[in-house]
Amino acid sequence: PSSAASSAAGESSATIPTASTGTAAGGAVEEHIAADVVATVPAQELDEHEGLDEASLREHEEVTKVKNVARVELGKYRMDTWYFSPLPKELIKNSSGMIDVLYVCEFTLSFFTRKEELLRFQAKELPWDRRHPPGNEIYRNGNLSMFEVDGYEERIYCQNLCYIAKMFLDHKTLYFDVDPFLFYVLCEVDNRGFHPVGYYSKEKYSDVGYNLACILTFPSHQRKGYGRFLIAFSYELSKKEEKVGSPEKPISDLGQQAYLPFWSSTIVDFLRNRRGDATSLSVMDISKQTSIMAEDIVFALNQLGILKFVNGVYFIAAETNLLEGLAKRHPVKEPRVDPEKLHWTPFITDIKRDKFSIHSKRPSVQKEEQEGRKSEGGSGGE
């Protein structure tokens, strides 16, 4: 979970149905489920070997050159894996060291090497009212639900989630010390239960202001906007915390490809709908309202071409016509996070110690000007 937000939720990765798409992944054992067989190909952008020294690179290549799981079946989807994952040794029972299909209970993330074992477990050990992730459901809107899972309280579940994620993420390192992390699991809801489609993790407390550590949309559910939804959700939590946040750095090219459209559309939408004196708008004002870190706002404004530098002063060129054109190129896409459907209380921190609290930020330009006028008026009265 401590890997940077470099998978970018997999939104730009390809998902290619095979000729067997639509056949039941589990055969006749579970006839009531029409399982899809989904084959995936790794995105080349996931290569993050930059910065590794020669010895580390050799070790990385040695560990990842051979996959130990060919496919993973999660719910009604069977997906080709992309990378090696350091699964517990006791799970691999054959001499080849290879698992053809790893069967995963989508509700508990328990691992099985035989479909019959999975079905037996679900029939005997998993009543209908437990067919959801552990932890607290903090968001429900239509058929989408989000659960917050504490890595310390649900260690096995979160470790298994990391093992699955490693099959689709090529990171330099991926730690399985899940205790310091919270995991936010996005589910599609139907009458059979809550089916995970992706997740992101974040540190319970980050001294550098990160609000997201690792993010993944499962290949079977890419191209649905869930990666962007997870990113938006991380900022909604930051708003609830009254903090600014940013994905874990350094962010990869693929991560930037996912974040930049979100930052751009969010900032343009804010500028179009802002109220008050437009001439008094500052980067810090945008940061306070969106919870996007100032450095990320500056980067996005530069990419949008509306941050200008004239006579030694930066200003935002936000004419109405320009913003309308940018809004068409950078729309706020569905599915959106509805803040009214979020039921979550943040951890309480001392804002005097927390430099990422919006209350610790410099006042806006407008407020500074008002305070300056008050000060001038006071000195004149004396």
User: Residue 368: inside a domain, yes or no?
Assistant: no
Least confident of 139-148, 165-174, 230-239: 165-174
pLDDT-based confidence at 47, cuts 50/70/90? very low
Q: Which residue is catalytic, options 45, 154, 248, 376?
A: 248
Q: Give me the number of domains the chain comprises.
A: 1
User: Residue 379: inside a domain, yes or no?
Assistant: no
The CATH number covering residue 170 comes to: 3.40.630.30
Least confident of 7-11, 81-85, 126-130, 354-358: 7-11
CB neighbours of residue 119 within 10 Å: 16
pLDDT for the residue numbered 55 = 67
Least confident of 18-32, 71-85, 230-244, 310-324: 18-32
User: Residue 225: inside a domain, yes or no?
Assistant: yes
User: Residue 311: inside a domain, yes or no?
Assistant: yes
pLDDT for the residue numbered 17 = 32
pLDDT-based confidence at 291, cuts 50/70/90? very high
User: Residue 125: inside a domain, yes or no?
Assistant: yes
pLDDT-based confidence at 282, cuts 50/70/90? confident
pLDDT for the residue numbered 69 = 95
- What integer is the mean pLDDT of 244-258? 90
pLDDT for the residue numbered 310 = 82
pLDDT for the residue numbered 174 = 58
Contacts of residue 219, Cβ cutoff 8 Å, sequence gap at least 6: 10, 13, 15, 38, 40, 79, 168
HSE-up of 285 (CA within 13 Å, CB side)? 17
User: Residue 279: inside a domain, yes or no?
Assistant: yes
pLDDT for the residue numbered 234 = 98
pLDDT for the residue numbered 253 = 82
Query: What percent of the chain is predicted at pLDDT more than 90?
Result: 58
In which domain, by residue range, is 310 found? Answer: 65-341
Prediction pTM value: 0.79
User: Residue 116: inside a domain, yes or no?
Assistant: yes
Least confident of 7-16, 67-76, 373-382: 7-16
137 is catalytic: no
User: Residue 89: inside a domain, yes or no?
Assistant: yes
pLDDT for the residue numbered 154 = 97
Q: What is the pLDDT of residues 189-229, one digit of tens each?
A: 999 999 999 999 999 999 999 999 999 999 999 999 999 99
Residue 6 has pLDDT above 90, yes or no: no
